[in-house]
Chains A and B, each alone.
Chain A
Amino acid sequence: MLRPTKHSHPDRTVINVSLLLLDYLKKYRIEEYGKLRRKIKEKTVGGDVLFLPALSFLYLLGLVEYRPKTDAVEYTGPDEAV
C-alpha cells in the first residue's frame, strides 16, 4: 500500500497521491470531496483508486478532517513547510 514495490510506478503510489492532496489542501484549506477527487484523477493515472487510501493516510496522520455538512475535506495540520 504505502511502500512502492519493484513493479510500482513512483507516481502511482499512496504516498505520492497523499503528497498531491496535501499540497492542494494546504493551499486551499478546504475543498469539496468530489472536486478534490476530480483533481487527483486528472493529475495521476489511477488516482481515483488511490484517492481514498491517500485520504485515509492523511487522516491517520491527523492532517485532514471530513466535514459532512459541506461534504468537504478540511486541512487541519500545522502550517510549517512540509
Chain B
Amino acid sequence: MKLSKLYSNKPECFQDIIFESGLNVVLAEIRLPENKKKDTHNLGKTTLGHLLNFLLLAKKNPKFFLFKHLDLFREFIFFLELELLDGSYITIRRGVQNATKISFKKHEFAQQNFVDLAEDTWDHHDVPFERSLSILDALLDLRSLKPWTFRKGIGYQLRSQDDYRDVFQLRKFMGKHADWKPFLSHITGFNADQITSYYEKEKQIDDKKKQEQIIQNEFGGSLEDISKIEGIILLKQKELEKKQAFLDAFDFRSQDKEHTEQLVNMIDERIATLNAERYSLQKNQKKIKDSLKEEQILFHPDDAERLFKESGILFAGQIKKDFQQLIAFNRAITDERCAYLQEELGEIDDRLKEVNAELDTLGKQRSETLSFLNETNVFNKYKKFSNELITLKADLSSLERQRDSLRRLQELRTSLRRIKEKLEHLQSDIELDVEQQNADPTCLFSSIRLFFNEIIEEVIDRKALLNVALNREGHLEFKDEILDESGNATSADSGTTYKKLLCTAFDLAVLRAYLDKKFPHFVFHDGVFESLDDRKKENLLNVIRRYSDLGIQVIITLIDSDLPPKSDRNKEVFGEQEIILTLHDENEQGRLFKMASW
C-alpha cells in the first residue's frame, strides 16, 4: 500500500498533492530574512502528516487542528487515493463536518478526482466509523499485520514530532506495555501470540489474587475444614432426598388422573423437542468432526455444483462468476476454520451432554409417572416428614454456603497455581523463541537488525545494535544502541543526539524487511535532516534514495536551511519530480492551507 494522491473539495485553499512511488520531498523555503532565526514556521509541513493520519481513519479528536478550528475547516472534505497491493486503487472520502462518516470507492486507475462523485456511485457511502475501519482494513489486505488492523502500526509510517523520542514506543503507546509490545514483537518477527497470552495470564493472576483476598476477608476458615463439611452435607442430603422423594410422590398421588395425563404430555413434548435438538446436534457434530478429520473443506463441491446449475437456470443472465470462482470462494471462506470449528464442537459436546442428561431424567420421570401405583395411609408420615424437611433444608443451606466459599477459595488457589505454571512455560517458550530469532541469521529479525545497522553505519560511521531480550519479569525489552569504535555501547548522549536518525533507520529497516509481503510500503518522515551535519545529511539522503529505488515510498519534509549540500554545483539536490510540494513564508499562498495561520 502506498499513497497516491491527496486533495480536497477546495483546491483554491488546499492544492492537490500527487505522490510519487519513490522519493517525495516536501520543501519549506524560508524566504523572509526575519524568519530565518525562528524555530517554527507554521507552514504546514508537519500538518501534512496529521492530515494523512486523519484520512487513514484516525479517531476523531477534538484537539485535532481541523476540529479545533471548526469555523475555518467546516466546509472541507478531503480525499486520499491509495494504491493497493494488487495495483488497483481506493479513494477514501472524509469530511470535517461529518468526520465519523466515511465513503469508499475502489477504482482501477490513479489520479482520479471524486470531488463531485454522486453519492450512489461510491461503493460504500457515509459508513459509520467502526464499519469504515473494517472496510478499509479488509481492502488494504495487509495480512502481515494479522491479527491487528492497519491502524496499529500506522504510527511507524507517520511519526509525528513527539514520536521521535523513542525508536519503539510511539507516543500513542504510552499506556500499558501489553497494548503495544505484542504488536512490535509481531512485526519484528517474534511469536506475538505467546507474548499476548503472557500479559493476559499476568492480568489473570492479579485478578485472582484480589478475589482470593476478598473471600479470605469475608469468610475466615481454613481449607482443612472442607472435607468435614462435605461429609456432613452428603449425609444430610441423602436424608433430604429420601424425604423429598416420598413427599413428591405423595403430592403427586393426591392429584387427579387428569393432572397425571397432563404431566405425561408435557414430558413427552419436552422429550420430542430434546430429541430433535439432539439429532441436529449430532448431525452437526458429525459434520464438524468429518471436516476436522480430513483437514478438509466444509463445503461439498457437488453441492456447490448443484447450486451453480440451479442458479444458472433460475437466474440466467445475472450470474457474474464462473464455477471455478465459486469453488475458490468456498475454499477461501472455509479454509482455516479449524479453531472456530473446535470451538463449535466444544459447544455442541457440552450441549449434547446436557440434552442427554435431561433426556435420561425425563425418561425415568415418564416411566414413573406412567406406572404410578396407589399407596395408602401415608398421611401421618407425610406430616412428620415435611416438618423434618424444613429443618434439614435450613441446615443444609448454611453448610453449603460455608462449603461454597471454601471451594471457591480452593478453586482460586488451584487455578492460580495452574496459571503460574503456564506462565513459567510461556516464559521458557518466549525465551526459546527470542534465542532462536537472535541466533538465526536468516530470520526476519536478523534482517531488520542488519538493515538497521547498515543505515546507521552509512550515515554516521558507527555501528548500531537492535537488541531484544527478556527482562526479569519475563517481558521483552527492545533496545537500540550506538556502539563506539571498539564495539561497546556509548554513553546515552549520542543515543539522544541521533534519536531521530535511529527512528528513521528502524522504520526503513522494517519496511525493507517486508518489501515482498502484505505490509505498508510507505513512510512519512518529518524533518529528517535536522541537526545532522552536511556530510551525514548527504549520507542519509543516499540511503533514502536507495530505499526508494527498492520500492519503498519515502516522503520527507525539510526546511531549505536543512538541505544537504549540492554534490554538483549546477544541480539542485532534489529533482523537479521529487519535490511534490513547496511551501514558503512570503504570503498565505505559501502555506499548506492557503489562509492566515491559526
Direct A–B touching, Cβ under 8 Å: yes
A-side residues, CB < 8 A to B, are 1-3, 14, 28-34, 46, 48, 52-53, 55-57, 59-62, 66-70, 72, 74-76, 79-80
> Whole-angstrom distance from the CB of A65 to the nearest CB of chain B?
8
Q: List the 8 closest A-B pairs by CB distance, nearest first.
A: A62-B320, A67-B138, A70-B138, A2-B310, A69-B141, A30-B134, A30-B135, A1-B307
- Encode contact with A along B106-143: 1 for CB under 8 Å, 0 otherwise: 00000000000000100111010001001101111111
How many angstroms from the CA of A67 to the CA of B333 in the assembled complex?
Answer: 9
**16 pairs, CB–CB < 8 Å, chain A vs chain B:** A1-B303, A1-B310, A2-B314, A30-B124, A46-B280, A53-B303, A60-B311, A60-B320, A61-B311, A61-B318, A67-B139, A69-B142, A70-B134, A70-B137, A70-B138, A79-B120
Interface contact B306-A1, CB-CB below 8 Å = yes
**Is there an interface contact between A33 and B333, defined as CB atoms closer than 8 Å?**
yes
Binds A, one of B54-62, B217-225, B324-332: B324-332
Does chain A have a CB within 8 A of B284? yes
In the bound assembly, the distance between CA atoms of A29 and B134 in angstroms comes to: 9
| Separation of A75 and B123 alpha carbons in the complex (Å) | 9
> In the complex, what residues of B have CB within 8 A of residue A75's CB?
124
Which of chain B's residues have a CB closer than 8 A to the CB of A61?
311, 315, 318-320
CA distance A73 to B334 in the complex (A): 13
The answer on a CB contact under 8 Å between B329 and A29 is no
**Residues on A with beta carbons closer than 8 Å to the beta carbon of B137:** 69-70
Query: B307 touching A66 by the CB < 8 A rule?
Result: no
Whether A72 contacts B304 by the Cβ 8 Å rule is: no
Of B127, B314, B326, which is within 8 A of A29 by CB? B127
Among A1, A30, A46, A68, point to the contact of B143 (Cβ < 8 A). A68
- A22 CB to closest chain B CB (Å) equals 14
Q: Apart from A53-B303, A59-B329, what 11 extra A-B contacts exist at CB < 8 Å?
A: A1-B306, A1-B310, A3-B310, A52-B298, A56-B307, A61-B318, A66-B332, A67-B139, A68-B141, A70-B134, A74-B139
Give bound CA distance, A2 to B371, whole Å: 49
Closest Cβ–Cβ distance, residue B507 to chain A (whole Å): 22
**A69 touches which one: B124, B131, B138, B298 (CB < 8 A)?**
B138
Known contacts A60-B311, A62-B320, A72-B134; A29/B303 CB under 8 A: no
Q: Pick the contact of A48 from B138, B284, B315 — CB < 8 Å?
A: B284
CA distance A80 to B118 in the complex (A): 13
Q: Please indicate which of the listed interface residues A28, A57, A60, A80 has the most CB atoms of chain B within 10 Å of its own CB.
A: A60
Rounded to whole angstroms, the CA-CA distance of A52 and B45 in the bound complex is 50
Q: Are B311 and A57 in contact (CB under 8 A)?
A: yes
CB distance from A78 to the nearest CB of B (A): 8
Question: How many angstroms between the C-alpha atoms of A21 and B280 in the bound complex?
Answer: 22
Chain A residues, CB < 8 A from B125: 79
Residue B63 at the chain A interface, CB threshold 8 Å: no
B141-194 residues with Cβ-Cβ distance < 8 A to A are: 141-143, 146, 149
Which residues of B pack against A, CB within 8 Å?
Answer: 120, 123-125, 127, 131, 134-135, 137-143, 146, 149, 280, 284, 298-299, 303-304, 306-308, 310-311, 314-315, 318-321, 325-326, 329-330, 332-334, 340, 518
List A contacts of B518 (CB < 8 A): 69
Query: A28, A33, A67 — which one has the most chain B CB atoms within 10 A of its CB?
Result: A67
Q: Name the A residues within 8 Å of B307 (CB-CB).
A: 1-2, 14, 53, 56-57, 60
Q: Which residues of B contact A28 (CB under 8 A)?
A: 131
State how many angstroms separate the Cβ of A56 from the closest Cβ of chain B: 6
CA distance A52 to B314 in the complex (A): 19
Q: Which residues of B contact A66 (CB under 8 A)?
A: 329, 332-333
Contacts of B138 in A (CB 8 A): 30, 67, 69-70, 72, 74
Return the chain A residue nearest B138 by Cβ: A67
B304: A residues at CB distance < 8 A:
56
Q: Which residues of A contact B124 (CB under 8 A)?
A: 29-30, 75
Find out whether the CB atom of A69 lies under 8 angstroms from the CB atom of B140: yes
A62 contacts B321, C-beta separation under 8 Å: yes
Q: Cβ of B141 and Cβ of A67 under 8 Å apart?
A: yes
**Closest chain A residue to B283, Cβ basis:** A49
Contact B123 A55 (CB under 8 A): no
| A28: min CB distance to chain B, Å | 6
Q: Please, which residues of chain A bring their CB within 8 A of the CB of B298?
A: 52
A78 to B333, CA, bound (A): 23
| B296 → chain A closest CB, angstroms | 14
Contacts of B321 in A (CB 8 A): 59-60, 62
CA distance A56 to B310 in the complex (A): 12
**Distance A48 CA – B138 CA, assembled complex (angstroms):** 24
Look across to chain B and name the residue whose beta carbon is closest to the beta carbon of A32. B134
B-chain residues with CB within 8 Å of residue A69 when the two chains form the complex: 137-138, 140-143, 146, 518
Q: Residues of B contacting A57 with CB < 8 Å? A: 307, 311
Complex-state Cα separation, A1 to B123, whole angstroms: 30
Residues of A within 8 A of B334 (CB): 52
A79 to chain B, nearest CB (A): 5
Nearest CB of A to B364, in Å: 29
Contacts of B310 in A (CB 8 A): 1-3
Q: Which of B120, B146, B284, B326 contacts A56 (CB 8 A)?
A: B326
Chain B residues closer than 8 Å to A70, beta-carbon distance: 134, 137-138, 149
Cβ contact of B330, chosen from A33, A56, A80, cutoff 8 A: A56
| Bound CA span A34–B554, Å | 38
Are B333's CB and A60's CB within 8 A? no
Least CB separation from A27: chain B residue: B131
Nearest A residue (CB) for B145: A69
Asked whether, in the complex, the Cβ of A59 is within 8 Å of the Cβ of B135, the reply is: no
B140 to A, closest residue via Cβ:
A69
A56 to B337: give the CA distance in the assembly, Å. 17
Question: Cα distance A79–B315 when bound, in Å?
Answer: 19
Q: Are B134 and A52 in contact (CB under 8 A)?
A: no
Once the chains are docked, how many angstroms separate the CA of A56 from the CA of B125?
A: 25
